[in-house]
Amino acid sequence: MVENLVLGIGVTALAGALATVAGAAEDTESDIGSQGDPNSQVQLAPQMGYIHRIYNKAISGEPPAYGLWCALGAGIAWALMAINLNAILALIVGAAIAVFVQGVYATTAYLGRTASLAKFEQPVYIDILKSVTTVTMAHAFVAIFTTISMCYLMVAALGHPFPLPLLGLVWGIALGAAGSATGNPFYGKERQYQEQKFGAGVPISASGNIVRYAEAGQRSSLDNGWFTSKLAGPASGICFGLIVFFELWRTVLFESFAAGWGAVIAGVVIILIFTVIDRYVETWARNTFGPYAEAPAEAEEAAS
């Protein structure tokens, strides 16, 4: 019993760590490839007269794209394990084949999206295709491999009833959702609109005027990966890592209490704790940053 519990907690910690790496790699991959919502500005910029050298592969949201790649990787690994291939090797081969699909997706997406901007005189840069695609593939490999390894742990060590490919789909979609939710604002506001004032949203009138030049020459999408990996990537990693860790932890540790209700109660308590933390962060920001403008009543008093 105790041995099982200790094993469960160890597996939970390992799965949480894998999820953290997956989240960080996923967000960095999507920022380099510009697959999240901020890509609307990359697509918009040439239409406003701003020609750029930013990658452009947002033909699908991150959640369904990662759902596909992780389900594919997990499915191939599952099939290879069924013919008695070593589990680690099967996971690597599964992730590698899924990454080739990601590479094809990225190439066709960049060519298609950029070619659609031809009438706005946006060129298709072949050197970008050569240099950036492989970098997104490398990051995608890390994200897919860690996610399907985590899924394998859930099946093999924790006994989840879902088959590996289905878990790959479920957690791939959740990975994309967590990564895009957390990482997108930092890539969109802080990187693409780096010239705008810090501490404020981008005025709607500035839409399309993304930063296109770097310290030397034109900005590359690789620079965006360097920038977002400082905060958006790790934050996405923490987000997905916490989701996976607490989802497993509450079940492994508390499911034996109160005929299964222990895990539910633990989950509710964790949600309440995160709610309190969120409220603290919100009030801290209001008190520390203060309002942008005086409240209308205060402004009137000041004027009189």
The rounded distance, in Å, linking the Cα atoms of 283 and 243 is 24
Q: Is 13 in the site for other proteins (CB under 8 A)?
A: no
Location of structure tokens 């697509």: 43
The rounded distance, in Å, linking the Cα atoms of 49 and 248 is 50
Q: Is 20 in the site for other proteins (CB under 8 A)?
A: no
Q: Is 81 in the site for other proteins (CB under 8 A)?
A: no
DSSP state of 162: S
**Spatial contact of 155 and 13, defined as CB atoms under 8 Å apart:** no
Q: Is 279 in the site for other proteins (CB under 8 A)?
A: yes
**In the complex with other proteins, which residue's Cβ is closer, 92 or 144?**
144
Q: Is 304 in the site for other proteins (CB under 8 A)?
A: no
Q: What are the DSSP calls for 23-47, one per residue?
A: HHHHHHHHHHHT-STTHHHHHHGGG
Q: Is 40 in the site for other proteins (CB under 8 A)?
A: yes
* Nearest distance from C-beta of residue 198 to other proteins, angstroms: 6
* Nearest distance from C-beta of residue 119 to other proteins, angstroms: 21
Q: Is 201 in the site for other proteins (CB under 8 A)?
A: yes
Alpha helices (H) in the chain, listed in sequence order:
2-33, 39-44, 62-82, 87-115, 126-156, 164-185, 221-228, 232-254, 261-289, 296-303
Q: Is 195 in the site for other proteins (CB under 8 A)?
A: no
Q: Is 47 in the site for other proteins (CB under 8 A)?
A: no
**In the complex with other proteins, which residue's Cβ is closer, 29 or 92?**
29
**Spatial contact of 173 and 69, defined as CB atoms under 8 Å apart:** no
The rounded distance, in Å, linking the Cα atoms of 188 and 248 is 32
The rounded distance, in Å, linking the Cα atoms of 26 and 116 is 26
- Encode 88-118: b = buried (16+ Cβ within 10 Å), e = exposed: eebbbbbbebbbeebbebbeebbeebbeebe
Q: Is 98 in the site for other proteins (CB under 8 A)?
A: no
Residue of 51, 206, 257, 300 interacting with other proteins (CB under 8 A): 206
Residue of 207, 223, 226, 253 interacting with other proteins (CB under 8 A): 207
Q: Is 38 in the site for other proteins (CB under 8 A)?
A: yes
* Nearest distance from C-beta of residue 207 to other proteins, angstroms: 8
* Nearest distance from C-beta of residue 233 to other proteins, angstroms: 11
Q: Please, which of residues 173-192 interact with other proteins by CB under 8 A? A: 173-174, 176-178, 180-190, 192
Q: Is 264 in the site for other proteins (CB under 8 A)?
A: yes
Residue of 98, 109, 143, 239 interacting with other proteins (CB under 8 A): 239
Q: Is 169 in the site for other proteins (CB under 8 A)?
A: yes
**In the complex with other proteins, which residue's Cβ is closer, 103 or 185?**
185
> CB burial class (10 A; 0-12, 13-18, 19+) of residue 277?
exposed
Q: Is 11 in the site for other proteins (CB under 8 A)?
A: no
The CA angle 146-168-34, to the nearest 5 degrees, is: 70
Residue of 41, 114, 133, 209 interacting with other proteins (CB under 8 A): 41
Alpha helices (H) in 229-295, listed in sequence order:
232-254, 261-289
Q: Is 150 in the site for other proteins (CB under 8 A)?
A: no
